[in-house]
Every structure is written in C-alpha cells, then in structure tokens.
Amino acid sequence: MGGGAFLINDGDGYFELVDSIYFDCGFAPISGEYIDNNNYIDIYGRHQSSDPHKENIAIIYNYGLTKFDSIKIFFLYEDCFSIDKYTSGDVNGDGFADLLFAYNIGHQWGIIYNNGIGNFSAPVYFDLDYPPLDIACADLNDDGRSDVVITDYIIEVYFSTETGFEQQLLGYAIPWSSSYKIIPSDFDIDGDIDVIITAKSNSNHSNVYMFENLGHNEFYEHDYFEFTPFCSYAKIADFNNDSLPDIVFIADDNSGLFIYNNMGDFQLELNQFIPIENDALLQRLTCNDFDNNNYNDIAFVKGYWGATSSKLEILFNNGKGSFVDDPVSIIEKEEKQKNILSCYPNPFTDKTTISINLNKNEKIKLEIYDIQGKLIRTFIDDKPHAGVYKTIWTGKDLNGKEVKAGIYFVRLILGRNIYSQKLVFSK
C-alpha cells in the first residue's frame, strides 16, 4: 500500500494540502517532469504491482486543477525484483521527456520513449557488464539530446545520437561502495554540464567524484574528494548565492545535514553541520527557494519506523549562513538585527567568546557539536537581557574533558529560529 500528498506553496513558504492519492500497491520513489504538453509538471515513479512477478512504472498526470487522478501504468519486466532507479530526459531530441530506469539485479538499463500525447513505446533494454546503482540524464554535449550516465564503480556515459548510443568510459570509483548518486551539474559554471557522483564507501568515508566537461565529449577527472562520516543522500544547490553550486548531504546516521561549499576549481570545503532531531529516518531531500528570498532552502521527509505517516520539514535559508524554521520573508519583516551569532577568536587555541545580539529578553540555548554530529556541550540561560550576551567556551565537553583539535559547530536556538557558526579548535 502507498500514497502521496500534494501541497501548494502560497509564495511565502507556507504550504496547503490540496489533494492526496492512495494506491492499493506501493508507489515509490517519485520524481517530477513535463511528460505531456500542457506545461504542468507530472509525477512518475516505480509502481509496485499486486503481482509480485511484474515490475511497472506509473505516471500521475497533472492538469493544473489540483486533482491528480489520471494515472497510467506501463509494464517494464516480468519476474523482476524492485527497480528503484528512475530518471527522465529528452533522449531522442523530439522535445518530450522520455523515462529511463536501471535494473540492478538484471544488469540492464532501459528507456520508454514518449510521444508527448500520453503514449509511450515498449521498453527498450540495454545490457551491462555490471549491476547499475544509479542512472541520470543530461545533455552533456549541447546537441539537444539527453545523454545517459550510469554507474556502479564503473562510470559510463551513453551519448545519444541519431543512430543510437555511443558508449564512453568516464572512470572508476572505489569499488564496493554501498551507494552511488549521480548529480549532473554545471559545477564550474562554464555553460557545460559536468558529472558529479557521490558515494558512501564501506571504509566509513564518503566520496565525491567530479568529471569536468571540457566539451566535444571530453571530460577531465579531478581528484576525488573524501570526507567523514558516512552520508547517504545528496543534492546540489547554490546556498550562498555565489553562483557556484554547493552540495548538501544527509548523514547516514540521520543526525543531520552536512553542507559543503563549492570553492571553485572543483574544490569543496565544509560549511556547516545542521543537527536534526534524531527521532526518525531522514529520507530524500530537495532544494529550492520556497519563501522567495532568493536563497535556496532545504526540504526533507522524516519517516518513522512502524508508523503509517511521515513528516515534511523545511529549513529556510536566511542568506546569512543559517537555516531557520520559519520562512525568511516573514522573519525579515519582524527581525532587523544583524550579526546574531559570532565567535572570536576563530580559529582558537584555548578559549573563544561566543557573542549573541538580542533585541529582547529571550531564553537562549547554545549547543556545540563535533563534525560527526555528536553533542559536545550545552549552554542555557533562561533570563538573558536584551543587548549583547556573551559566554566563553574553553574547548571542553560536558565532562570537562578537552576535545580534540578540529572543526566544531555552535548552534543557537533563539525562539523558533536556529543559527549556526563553524568553529575551528587548534592546539
């Protein structure tokens, strides 16, 4: 069994439930795409058939009336088990989005071609020498056709041409990683789509593989970026409005989100860790400017084990390096103060002063986390006065033991707002 909810944004970051849908069989995961020619985004995804021996793909058509009740189901495989990697793109250059899938157990990928008026071709299958773990589509050579990127530890591109596909090896990732995610993106903002791949290594590391698009079907493989801890899912978006797309990761232990800034020349640097109340499984996330303040926000779903419901949460980007619970367009009308949270010196060797600017008497809660998302120290003051509030951290944890040198995060909870600051402790 499965279902879904449809929420409409009022333009300021507040959402209203307008429709829901129920399936006798499961329907996950889902994606959106302009599948027909009416300029409304439709929804597609894996349809778990009542027949366990069949695998289908389903499309929910959107006619702009907030009623999502037109569903078509297309058969993909007989005696197939769980295809959950789907993507879309105009592979044949006819102006309509085709649907693609990867079949890990069957060592195949495939396409159903779209004629733009609700009809699709029979599936076309392509054999692989390895079990694909992800598939993505993008026009990599600017010829009007979406090309196909497929990965296990082998990373390949299938360039779409008028006569078929031209296969090209991009490179290799570290083998035996437990998951891969392909994210096509113009990572160096030069007008060409690069290939970015994130992977969760079995050696307790996460890796980012970056292939720079040089044009003319040529790519340059940069040194891969490795960091800890495990991260299970990622999205690319520009969070600081420097035009360079950054990367946000879900921590594999569901403790929160890691944001790595794009420093240019395919270099990444940790920007911040955003702790999330660890009471549920953090599922797929997406990024967009939900409250129209010109900064990308982060939305994700928290699923609860054994429960029949999930919870949508949104972290709103205030453009000052922090994410808050309420839409920023509303907050900025009520709150004019600047430089809410600061730490000096930073980096520090023996102590740092944490300063908070308050415009009213309000309860303060300060938390310090390490890079793994572990809570190190908590400071609470129930009755601070308006003005500048200061406290000192000497680099010690809750038990009075000095922490190791490294990166830490100060998290300020001020009413319903959350601010964070990166700290570097060096000895």
Does residue 361 register a pLDDT over 90? no
- Tell how far CA 420 is from the center of its chain: 20
Highest mean pLDDT among 123-137, 269-283, 412-426: 123-137
For residue 239, pLDDT over 90 is answered with: yes
pLDDT of residue 62: 83
HEC string for 264-298: ECCEEEEEEEEECCCCCEEEEEEEECCCCCCCCEE
Res. 209: pLDDT tops 50: yes
Region 273-277 average pLDDT: 89
133 in Cβ contact with 104 (< 8 Å) = yes
What predicted TM-score, i.e. pTM, was given to this entire model? 0.81
Cα 191 to chain centroid, rounded? 22
Q: Which two tokens stand for residue 46?
A: 């894996």
pLDDT of residue 263: 95
Which whole-number Å values give the CA distances from 204 to 35, 116, 142, 227, 251, in the listed order?
A: 39, 45, 38, 9, 12
**279: pLDDT confidence band, cut at 50, 70 and 90?**
low
139 pLDDT band (50/70/90 cuts)?
very high
pLDDT at 307 over 90: no
φ/ψ of 108, rounded to 5, equals: -145, 160
Q: What percent of the chain has pLDDT over 90?
A: 46
pLDDT at 65 over 60: yes
Residue 276 · residue 285 · CB < 8 Å: no
pLDDT band, residue 289 (cuts 50/70/90): very high
| Integer Cα distance of 302 and 312 in angstroms | 6
Residue 158 pLDDT: 98
Exposure of 339 by Cβ count < 10 A (0-12 exposed, 13-18 middle, 19+ buried)?
exposed
Measured at the CA of 359, the angle between CA 354 and CA 362, to 5 degrees, comes to 75
| pLDDT (average), residues 291-310 | 79
Mean pLDDT in residue range 322-330? 82
Q: How many Cβ atoms are within 10 Å of 8's Cβ, its own excluded?
A: 12
207 contacts 198 by C-beta, under 8 angstroms: yes
Bridge partners, 70 (sequence order)? 61
Q: Which of 1-10, 101-110, 120-129, 411-420 has the lowest mean pLDDT?
A: 1-10
Q: H or E stretch including 223?
A: none
Cα–chain center distance at 216: 29
* Predicted local distance difference test score (pLDDT) of residue 336: 42
Residue 125 banded pLDDT, cuts 50, 70, 90 = very high
The CA distance from 208 to 198, in Å, is 4
pLDDT at 337 over 50: no
Q: Is the pLDDT of residue 28 over 90?
A: no
- Hey, how many other C-beta atoms are within 10 angstroms of the C-beta on 176? 9
Which residues touch 304 (CB under 8 Å, ≥6 apart)?
A: 279, 280, 281, 310, 311
Torsion of CA 50, 55, 57, 58, to 10 degrees: -10
How confident is the model over 378-426, as pLDDT tens digits?
988 777 778 888 899 999 998 999 999 988 989 888 877 778 888 999 8
